[in-house]
Amino acid sequence: MRALLKESPGPGIVLREVPLPRYGPSEVLIRVHHAGVCGTDLHIWEWDSWASQRLKPPVIVGHEFAGHITELGAEADAAGLLVAGDLVTAEGHVVCGHCLQCRLGEGHLCRRTSIIGVDRDGAFADYIVMPASNVIWIDRMPTEIGAIMDPMGNAVHTVLEADVPGSTVLVLGCGPIGCFAVGVARAAGASLVIASDLNPRRLELARAMGAHVLLNPQHDDVVARVRELTAGDGVDLVCEMSGHPSGHAQALAAARIGGRVNLLGTPSSTTEVDFARDIIFKGLTLYGVTGRKMYQTWHQMSRFLRAGQIDPRPVITHRFPLEQIAEAIQVIKDGQAGKVILEVGS
């Protein structure tokens, strides 16, 4: 089969013919239809310090995908539920099930997490093997949508870890996950959703997902504008999706007294925090978001998507065949893309 491979340490990803992967008794083999390209894939392409420490080439890249089941291990259909032909996506974090976090229902924080496309073979290939437990039905939804449920799930996790109905929400950073967060906040009944980004193109995507107000820090004083829009209170919930230290400062300042800051964007440097002024005297709650809750996030997301409460497709801006991975990586690097999709098969 075809596969996009990080073949050896160093920049780049190459297309290779590789053998069909073998699956164990509780795993399934999936024919990939669509796959999503993520900022993480850019790090892997560029072989930055994170990637060079984490990946052990050769490994097939890619962790966002949807397709159909073609074969099942002997125990994979124990419950008689999964059937060859089922349209599915999958949670890409393969967890141990036995550690403290797994036992507490916090599998998304499992210490032994093995991530597809990073720690084990991924989805930029004709086929991928997944544990049956990680498989999520997408039913009649297009696989193009299924292929972006992984990043959209990050947004669902970030937004719904708060009491959203009737609330005011600020989304800092309008990359694809930020744009999804805008749509999730609207679907979940937020009264006011403010989106902020330096990039006018991304702000347009946020508008398409339902943002009531767009702010651009280049010409808007974000914190001052948020206060104006909220009768001086600040917002109930800030979703920090930018990962910029300036985003952290804005997040803490723009949250209302007693409010909440959910942090997803991962900064590459440390941030100076005034705990007394910005957290303690404000009675703030901060929450660090990793992955998707396994599997509540997937259920909530499926409900929103099936009911038509969110349509994530406006965020998809580019589609490429597997062969054009270089082009796909380039448009992400250029910062002008929303979500970039690889069209793999059917």
Can residue 189 be called a binding residue for its own copies (CB under 8 A)? yes
Exactly one of 115, 141, 213, 279 binds its own copies (CB under 8 A); that residue is 279
Sequence-separated (6 or more) residues with CB below 8 Å from residue 320 = 327, 328, 340, 341, 342, 343
Residue nearer to its own copies on the CB measure, 85 or 189: 189
Site stretch for its own copies (CB under 8 A), options 33-41, 59-67, 257-265, 326-334: 257-265
Exactly one of 10, 11, 20, 103 binds its own copies (CB under 8 A); that residue is 103
In whole angstroms, how close is the CB of 322 to its own copies at the nearest point?
30
Can residue 257 be called a binding residue for its own copies (CB under 8 A)? yes
- With CA atoms as reference, report the closest residue to 336 among 202, 226, 136: 202
SS3 category, 136:
strand
In whole angstroms, how close is the CB of 327 to its own copies at the nearest point?
29
Q: Which of 33, 34, 40, 93 is catalytic?
A: 40
Can residue 246 be called a binding residue for its own copies (CB under 8 A)? no
Per-residue string for binding with its own copies, 45-84, x by CB under 8 A?
-----------------------------xx--xx-xx--
Exactly one of 8, 9, 56, 100 binds its own copies (CB under 8 A); that residue is 100
Say how far apart CA 178 and CA 150 lie, in whole Å: 13
Say how far apart CA 271 and CA 278 lie, in whole Å: 13
Number of residues that bind its own copies (CB under 8 A): 75
In whole angstroms, how close is the CB of 285 to its own copies at the nearest point?
5
Query: Which residues in the 14-43 window bind its own copies by CB under 8 A?
Result: 24-26
Show the tokens assigned to 112. Answer: 């032994």
Instruction: Reply yes or no on whether 244 is catalytic.
Output: no
Instruction: Reply yes or no on whether 34 is catalytic.
Output: no
Q: Which of 43, 68, 70, 285 is catalytic?
A: 43
Show the tokens assigned to 56. Answer: 């052990």
Strands, sheet with 59-60, edge to edge from the N-terminal-most edge strand = 14-17, 2-6, 59-60
Phi, psi of 340 (to 5 degrees): -110, 130
In whole angstroms, how close is the CB of 88 to its own copies at the nearest point?
11
Residue whose structure tokens are 């060859």: 84
Can residue 10 be called a binding residue for its own copies (CB under 8 A)? no
Can residue 97 be called a binding residue for its own copies (CB under 8 A)? yes
Site stretch for its own copies (CB under 8 A), options 53-61, 143-151, 285-293, 338-346: 285-293
Burial class (CB in 10 A: 0-12, 13-18, 19+), 176: buried
Exactly one of 14, 15, 96, 331 binds its own copies (CB under 8 A); that residue is 96
Can residue 98 be called a binding residue for its own copies (CB under 8 A)? yes
- Tell me if 127 sits within 8 A of 21, measured CB to CB: yes
In whole angstroms, how close is the CB of 166 to its own copies at the nearest point?
4
In whole angstroms, how close is the CB of 80 to its own copies at the nearest point?
9
Sequence-separated (6 or more) residues with CB below 8 Å from residue 169 = 159, 185, 190, 192, 193, 194, 235, 236, 237, 238, 239
Residue nearer to its own copies on the CB measure, 56 or 281: 281
Can residue 298 be called a binding residue for its own copies (CB under 8 A)? yes
Show the tokens assigned to 125. Answer: 């290939």
Can residue 224 be called a binding residue for its own copies (CB under 8 A)? no
> What DSSP string describes 203-232?
HHHHHHTT-SEEE-TTTS-HHHHHHHHTTT
Phi, psi of 230 (to 5 degrees): -125, 35
In whole angstroms, how close is the CB of 250 to its own copies at the nearest point?
13
Say how far apart CA 51 and CA 158 lie, in whole Å: 25
Which residues form the catalytic set? 40, 43
